[in-house]
Chains A and B, each alone.
Chain A
Amino acid sequence: MSAVDFTQLAVLFPNETVTHSYVQDIELPAPAGQGSPGTFALITLDNGLDHSKPTTLGPNTLVELGTVLEELRERAQRGEIVGVGVTGKPYYLVAGADLSTVKTLDKREHGLWMAQLGHDVYSTLANLGVPSFAFINGAALGGGLEIALQSTYRTVSTGAGALALPEAFIGLVPGWGGVYILPRLIGPENAVKVMIENPLSNNRTLTGPQAFELGIADAMFEPADFLEQSLAWAAKVITGETTAERANAVAPADPDTATRWAAAVSAGRALVEAKTSNAAPAPAKVLDILEGNRTMTQAESAALECETLAELMQTDEFRATVYAFLDLVQKRSKRPAGAPDRKLARPVTKVGVVGAGLMASQLALLFARQLKVPVVMTDIDQARVDKGVGYVHAEVDKLLGKKRISQDAANRTKALVTGSVSKDVFADADFVIEAVFEELNVKKQVFAELEAIVTPECILATNTSSLSVTAMAEDLKHPERLVGFHFFNPVAVMPLLEIVRAPRTDDAVLATAFELAKALKKTGVLVKDAAAFVVNRILLRLMGEVTAAFDEGTPAEVADDALRPMGLPMTPFTLGAMVGLPVAQHVQESLHAAFGERFTVSANLQKLIDNGVKSLWARGGDGQQEIPQSTLSLMSFGTNPSSSEEVLRRTQDALAEEIGLMLEEGVVAGPEDIDLCMILGAGWPMFLGGITPYLDRVGASERVNGKRFLPPGVASRPAGQPAGV
């Protein structure tokens, strides 16, 4: 089949932003003392748009590239060219398959065509009759990097970033030959690192130097004359003056390689289990193909890759991931729903932090590092103030020690953070946030004191996780200035910021809060003032259900493992221990007070807290996790155990109910914001789409609310389509 035969697929996408394949004939520079090695055809992949619009591979793009390559193959046969190169427009080789197109391939057959089209085109590139070269000038993701892998030789720019095979993260497999070529080129262990470990570690990517180090590229040049040097290198390869050294390449038939191969696959499976609980199909499929293709021909592997891609494209996990990744994390997070016009935002030139405890100190560090404005912390005595400022200075020194910041930046940040026992230091602050004890009267007292000192325009913010922002604003002279600013622990790492609008919070204050979130490199999501806002309400509803099942008599391991099919980052009991049992209990009590019996306060948990037990689980003598007898003896249990299926279903239903209520209450603008919050605030997986696509998928939304959260097709296969494989 030739690329032209795939036009029946291409015509389905008349609006594709086509990345064109422009060909220029180049007389290769002559290596010293020689004539030019001959004419070299250089393909540039370019969509004609600026760097904010990455080049992608859709059906029309691939058909055009395939046609161009076919012509070059014929020219090579006629002896007109001695080599073919592929490079990209500035900053991109090519970003990868056009996901917005791929996610609309709703017929399995069309997905299969797309997979086969890629293979068809890439195999032409690999079999031109003359050597092919990829000059990796910039980002090369997925199918983009596979163009390079399918070429005979590769050079990479030291300035290139975003080199990866992220398919396992997206819900697919590197099925345009990457999964076959990469282990042979860089060794099975490195291939597992690139195809499994990196995608499942927050979708980590490689830099040019890292890719070169792994052996993905044969030569590396600096950006200033990357293409010129790449072409000069290609000339030397073609004349035989230089050869590619591939220290990490392996021969699959070698018995030693076979052993390494099996071990790498096995290590990969353990990693997938640890990272995803095998809740999503794609990572295991990558390893299945890798395991099998050691003894396959490339064509055999290609057929398997195409079948697997066609299958995975029709999974809801893939659709949910594209929704979560493209629609939410990449798009919606940059245009927060309900945020007022940014032009209303006021400048923030000095920040106050009330309190000098751990949370307050983390906030002070974040504000000083990101905003680079003076930050003052206060507390009730000098010792606490010194401890808070000392914490910040010590953290800055740690960053300096790790060479994450320069000495000058460290000096600057330390100098920005000061402390005082008097709130008078807030007189010229533009933004003061409190991080004092979670007690309404304490917070109201703090704000009353602040109002006597700060300017009328100074914004007051609370980092409360469970108290009513509305109630805090009640006695203020300027209630319009109060906003909730809820960070997640650890503050430096978690990307979410719940921005809480109380009924009287004004637009300028809210606009400033959103601009501040952006300056702090956080994603702000607008939430209504409702108990525990979004993330904690959902997490505690979930933990409450599992704890209740445990209290009713379900064995701990059954209860705690029941949610494994969801692939959450940690089990409910582990999460409880990490948050701190007293903190979890405190928030649960607030939620119980606000919403009643949906949030059950566990008496057993209270007994653990009262006895200073920090975690239900402990490591036994054999290293296995267990509940010590001393802990067990503190608790009493019912006689109504559930199966893990029952616990899972009960939790799904509870989540569907709670989210349904939250949307009715208008806590956020839509289910998309719930999902964004769970992804960024709780690290919930993209293959769940956050959470609502999962609840739609398993039928919980229909069971509980009688309707889906999202229409079919948004984060799932469209309606009326047969289920995938």
Chain B
Amino acid sequence: MSHNGSSASNRTVRDVVFVDGLRTPFGRAGEKGIYAGTRADDLIVKCLRELLRRNPSLPPARIDEVAIAATTQSGDQGLTLGRTAALLAGLPRTVPGFAIDRMCAGAMTAVTSTAGGIGFGAYDVVIAGGVEHMGNHPMGSGADPNPRFMSERLVDPAALNMGNTAENLHDRFPSITKKRTDAYAVASQRKFDEARSKGRIQQDLVPVATLKPGQGWTLNTVDEPPRPGTTMADLATLRTPFRSHGRVTAGNAAGLNDGATAAILASAETAIELGLPVRMRLVSYAYAGVEPEVMGIGPVPATEKALKNAGLSIEDIGLFEINEAFAVQVLSFLEHFGIADDDPRVNRYGGAIAVGHPLASSGVRLMNQLARQFEEDPSVRYGITTMCVGLGMGATVIWENPYHADYSGARQGESAATTATVSEGAA
């Protein structure tokens, strides 16, 4: 350990940077999906190994923690995933790991909690990520909700079904119509397809070989969920499974998916020491709770809190990566902050409605896409990644673009020490 962050006296908070991130291609959950018959832990292992290959200047023994999220922590997602994945990936046995769960915000929480450890000085470099094989682990499988939730009306039974909460959100914001959500969904499919055709997506996918009985090995290199060319007319025909004559359909919501993501984070000084790329600087993060029945509104208070922590306002944010669990949830966020449905700052590469949402893995996908957009667009100084979380939560992380002229952190070739203690209030 070379850092001097943890100290009996004179604590120094250190800058945390996002070094690199990638993911497996996402698959459709179920027997016909590309990952049917594939283990969840194998998916995360592919990510860990590719991260190390892509960052050869990082000695594996320097990794201080491997935090891997999964919503269902049993079977092939059990046994303390962070540790098992590290061992299976061939990391030195000296590298510890743990498993983490905040449902959809699992990977995001893996990032922020290890980032907290970096800032505090407990870690120099970490790997954080998430995996969800919703084919192997259907939502809620194996869960045993406490009967008090019902008997004491702690939450509406509807709150345990995410589709119902999305319908509830439509009730709360009558101005958000099915026509608007479908239009948003069509745009998501279109933007994802454009990003893919421009090579923005493939560069951060790790190919995964899978074996199916009677078919032999194949190599999965592209996402399975997207439906490019989706039109309003296509979406108009879909069932509303959560309510008759409802508004939420399979077309304006994320699907049920399998996939894994992982990222390297480091203290700014360690990134410079090891010659690791600095792709984003963590500015602030926040989690917030809301009524479980309208969990989709969670990103609003979480973002307000994170902005306040950072001393920023919504106008300072040049790019939004918001998870698209449901189009209505995205639109409720945009409406709250007075942002247009088709604002070009929002989900430039499309979102989960197109690419899919393997629950606990999605947070790192948002971050990685934001990092790619920062690279493309140095005019943007701040961006956010945000998502709603089951049982009524929101999660937001604010990042700064190192390519921006006024970047406040250290870049490669500079000393990190002088900037490490700059407070966000001054930004």
Tell me if A24 and B218 are in contact (CB < 8 A): yes
A140 to chain B, nearest CB (A): 16
A24 to B214, CA, bound (A): 11
The reply to whether the CB of B209 lies closer than 8 angstroms to some CB of chain A is yes
Q: CB of B211 within 8 A of chain A?
A: yes
Q: Which of A43, A222, A231 contacts B219 (CB 8 A)?
A: A231
The interface residues of chain B lying within 8 Å CB-to-CB of A79 are: none
Q: Which residues of B contact A22 (CB under 8 A)?
A: 214-216
Quick one: which of B45, B209, B215 has the most chain A CB within 10 A? Answer: B209
- A225: B residues at CB distance < 8 A: 45-46, 49-50, 209
Give the chain A neighbours of B211 by CB distance below 8 A: 44, 46, 89-90
Q: Per-position contact with A for B266-291: 1 when CB-CB < 8 Å, else 0?
A: 00000000000000000000000000
Identity of the chain A residue whose Cβ is nearest the Cβ of B208 in the assembled complex: A228
Task: Report whether A224 and B215 are in contact in the complex, using a CB–CB cutoff of 8 Å.
Answer: no
B216 touches A42 (CB 8 A): yes
Give the CA-CA distance A224 to B50 in the complex, in Å: 11
Is A44 touching B217 in the complex (CB atoms < 8 A)? yes
Per-residue contact bits, chain B 77-92, to A (CB 8 Å; 1 contact, 0 not): 0000000000011100
B90 near A224 (CB under 8 angstroms)? yes
Q: How far is the CB of A224 from chain B (nearest CB, A)?
A: 6
In whole angstroms, what is the CA distance A273 to B46 when docked?
Answer: 50
Determine if A224 and B217 form an interchain contact, defined as CB atoms under 8 angstroms apart.
Answer: no
Contact of B89 among A29, A224, A228 (CB under 8 A): A224
- Asked if B46 contacts A228 (CB within 8 A), the reply is yes
Q: From A43, which residue of chain B is reached at the shortest CB distance? A: B216
Closest to B202 in A: A30
Q: Are B216 and A44 in contact (CB under 8 A)?
A: yes
Does A23 belong to the interface (CB within 8 Å)? yes
Tell me whether A27 is interfacial, beta carbon within 8 Å.
Answer: yes
Task: Tell me the nearest residue of chain A to B42, going by C-beta.
Answer: A224
Q: A228-B207, A231-B209 are in contact. Are A87 and B46 (CB under 8 A)?
A: no
Q: A225-B46, A225-B49 are in contact. Are A42 and B207 (CB under 8 A)?
A: no
CB-CB < 8 A to B214: which residues of A?
20, 22, 46, 48
Is B207's CB under 8 angstroms from A87's CB? Answer: no
**Contact flags B217-261 to A (C-beta < 8 A → 1, else 0):** 111010000000000000000000000000000000000000000
Contacts of A491 in B (CB 8 A): none
Contact of A227 among B89, B206, B215, B217 (CB under 8 A): B217
**A624 → B minimal CB distance (Å):** 55
With A and B bound together, what is the CA distance between A90 and B38 in angstroms? Answer: 13
Nearest CB to that of B213 among chain A residues? Answer: A48
Q: Which residues of A contact B45 (CB under 8 A)?
A: 224-225
- Residues from chain A with a CB closer than 8 A to the CB of B49 are 224-225
CA distance A26 to B89 in the complex (A): 24
Please name all residues of chain B whose beta carbon is closer than 8 Å to the beta carbon of A43 when the two chains form the complex: 216
Q: How far is the CA of A224 from the CA of B46 in the complex (A)?
A: 7
How many B residues, CB 8 Å from partner?
Answer: 20
On chain A, the residues within 8 Å of B46 by CB distance are 224-225, 228
Chain B contacts for A23, CB-based, 8 A: 216
Cα separation A225 to B51 with both chains bound (whole Å): 13
List A residues 211-258 near B (Cβ within 8 Å).
Answer: 222, 224-225, 227-228, 231-232
Most buried by A among B206, B207, B208, B214: B207
CA distance A87 to B88 in the complex (A): 22
Query: Which residues on B sit within 8 Å (CB–CB) of A224?
Result: 45-46, 49, 88-90
The number of residue pairs between A and B whose CB atoms lie closer than 8 Å in the complex comes to: 60
CA distance A230 to B261 in the complex (A): 22
Verify A29–B221 contact, CB threshold 8 A.
Answer: yes
Residues of A within 8 A of B209 (CB): 225, 227-228, 231
CB distance from B66 to the nearest CB of A (A): 14
Contacts of B213 in A (CB 8 A): 46, 48
B126, chain A: closest CB distance, angstroms: 20
Q: Give Cα A23–Cα B49 distance, bound, in whole angstroms.
A: 27
Q: Measured between C-beta atoms, what is the minimum distance from A568 to chain B in Å?
A: 47
| Chain A positions within 8 Å of B208 at CB level | 228
Interface centre among B49, B214, B215, B216 (most CB of A within 10 A): B216
**B-side contacts of A26, CB under 8 Å:** 218-219
In the docked arrangement, what's the CA distance between A43 and B208, Å? 17
CB B420 to nearest CB in A, in angstroms, measures: 34
A24 to B219: give the CA distance in the assembly, Å: 9
The answer, among B50, B90, B218, B221, for a CB contact under 8 Å with A222, is B90
B217 CB contact (under 8 Å) in A29, A42, A48, A232: A42
CA distance A29 to B46 in the complex (A): 15
- Please give, as numbers and ranges, the residues of chain B lying within 8 Å of A228 by CB-CB distance: 46, 206-209, 219
Closest CB in chain A relative to B91 CB, distance in Å: 11
Query: Quick one: which of A24, A29, A231 has the most chain B CB within 10 A?
Result: A24
Query: In the complex, what distance in Å separates the CA atom of A440 from the CA atom of B169?
Result: 92
Chain B positions 348-383 with a Cβ under 8 Å from a chain A Cβ: none
Residues A46 and B216 in contact, CB atoms below 8 Å apart: yes
CB distance from B44 to the nearest CB of A (A): 11
- B187-210 contact mask (Cβ, 8 Å, vs A): 1 or 0: 000000000000000000011110
Known: A29-B207, A225-B49, A228-B46. A24 touches B217 (CB 8 A): yes
A228 to B209, CA, bound (A): 6
Chain A residues whose CB sits within 8 angstroms of the CB of B219 once the complex forms: 24, 26-27, 29, 42, 227-228, 231
Residue of B nearest to A27 (CB): B221
Q: How far, in whole Å, are A26 and B208 apart by their CA atoms in the complex? A: 12
Once the chains are docked, how many angstroms separate the CA of A26 from the CA of B218? Answer: 7
**Whole-angstrom distance from the CB of B256 to the nearest CB of chain A?**
25
Given the complex, which residues of B lie within 8 Å of A42, measured CB to CB? 216-219
Shortest Cβ distance from A89 into B: residue: B211
Give chain A nearest CB distance to B90 CB in angstroms: 6
A30 to chain B: closest residue by CB:
B202
* Contact partners of A227 in chain B: CB under 8 A: 209, 217, 219
- Chain A residues, CB < 8 A from B90: 222, 224
Q: How far is the CA of A232 from the CA of B49 in the complex (A)?
A: 14
Chain B residues, Cβ within 8 Å of A231 = 207, 209, 219
Give bound CA distance, A231 to B46, whole Å: 14
Interface 0/1 of A70-94, CB less than 8 Å to B: 0000000000000000010110000
Which A residues are in CB contact (< 8 Å) with B50? Answer: 225
Interface set, chain B 16-35, CB cutoff 8 A to A: none
- A222–B218 alpha-carbon span in the complex (Å): 18
A87 to B209, CA, bound (A): 12
Complex Cα gap A46–B215 (Å): 9
B49-73: contact bitstring with A at CB < 8 Å (1 yes, 0 no)?
Answer: 1100000000000000000000000
In the complex, A46→B214 CA distance in Å?
Answer: 8
Of B90, B215, B217, chain A has the most CB atoms within 10 Å of the CB of: B217
Which residues on B sit within 8 Å (CB–CB) of A90? 211
Contact mask A474-506 → B, CB, 8 Å, 1/0? 000000000000000000000000000000000
Cβ contacts A1-36/B at 8 Å (1 or 0 each): 000000000000000000010111011010000000
* Assembled-state Cα–Cα distance A361/B211 (Å): 50
Contact with A along B83-106 (1 / 0, CB 8 A): 000001110000000000000000
Which residue of chain B lies nearest to A26 when distances are taken between CB atoms in the complex?
A: B219
B330 vs chain A, min Cβ distance (A): 32
Complex Cα spacing A224 to B206, Å: 13
Question: A258: shortest Cβ distance to chain B, in Å?
Answer: 42
Check B217–A87 contact: CB distance below 8 A. yes
Q: How far is the CA of A20 from the CA of B211 in the complex (A)?
A: 14
Nearest CB of B to A218, in Å:
19
Q: What are the residues of chain A within 8 A of B216 when measuring CB–CB?
A: 22-24, 42-44, 46
Note all chain A residues with C-beta closer than 8 A to B221: 27, 29
* Apart from A225-B209, A228-B209: 18 A-B pairs, beta carbons within 8 A: A22-B215, A26-B218, A27-B219, A29-B207, A42-B216, A42-B219, A46-B216, A224-B45, A224-B88, A224-B89, A225-B50, A227-B217, A227-B219, A228-B207, A228-B208, A231-B207, A231-B209, A232-B207
* A-B pairs, 10 with minimum CB distance: A44-B216, A22-B216, A227-B209, A24-B218, A26-B219, A44-B217, A228-B209, A24-B216, A228-B207, A29-B207
What are 5 of the A-B contact pairs (CB < 8 Å)? A29-B221, A44-B217, A224-B49, A225-B209, A228-B219
